[in-house]
Amino acid sequence: DVQLVESGGGLVKPGESLRLSCAASGFTFRGYAMNWVRQAPGKGLEWVSSISNTATSIDYADSVKGRFIISRDNADNSLTLLMNNLRVEDTAVYYCARVERFETAYYGMDVWGQGTTVTVSS
Partner 1 sequence: IVMTQSPLSLSVTPGEPASISCRSSQSLVHGTGRTYLDWYLQKPGQSPQLLIYLGSNRATGVPDRFSGSGAGTDFTLKISRVEAEDVGVYYCMQPLQTPYTFGQGTKLEIK
**Residue numbers at the binding site for partner 1 (CB under 8 A):** 35, 37, 44-47, 50, 59, 61-62, 95, 97, 99, 101, 104, 106-110, 112-115
Positive or negative: CA dihedral 27, 33, 36, 37: negative
Nearest approach in angstroms of CB 42 to partner 1 is 11
Q: State which residue, 9 or 115, has the beta carbon closest to partner 1.
A: 115
Chain CA centroid to CA 8, Å? 11
Name the pairing type of β-strands 116-120 and 10-12: parallel
Neighbours of 40 (CB within 10 A): 13
Nearest approach in angstroms of CB 79 to partner 1 is 15
Residue 49: C-alpha distances to residues 13, 17, 26, 64, 121 (Å): 22, 17, 23, 8, 23
Nearest approach in angstroms of CB 13 to partner 1 is 27
Q: State which residue, 35 or 80, has the beta carbon closest to partner 1.
A: 35
DSSP conformation class of 62: T
Give the span between the Cα atoms of 11 and 78, in whole angstroms.
Answer: 23
Q: State which residue, 69 or 75, has the beta carbon closest to partner 1.
A: 69
Nearest approach in angstroms of CB 12 to partner 1 is 23
Q: State which residue, 89 or 110, has the beta carbon closest to partner 1.
A: 110
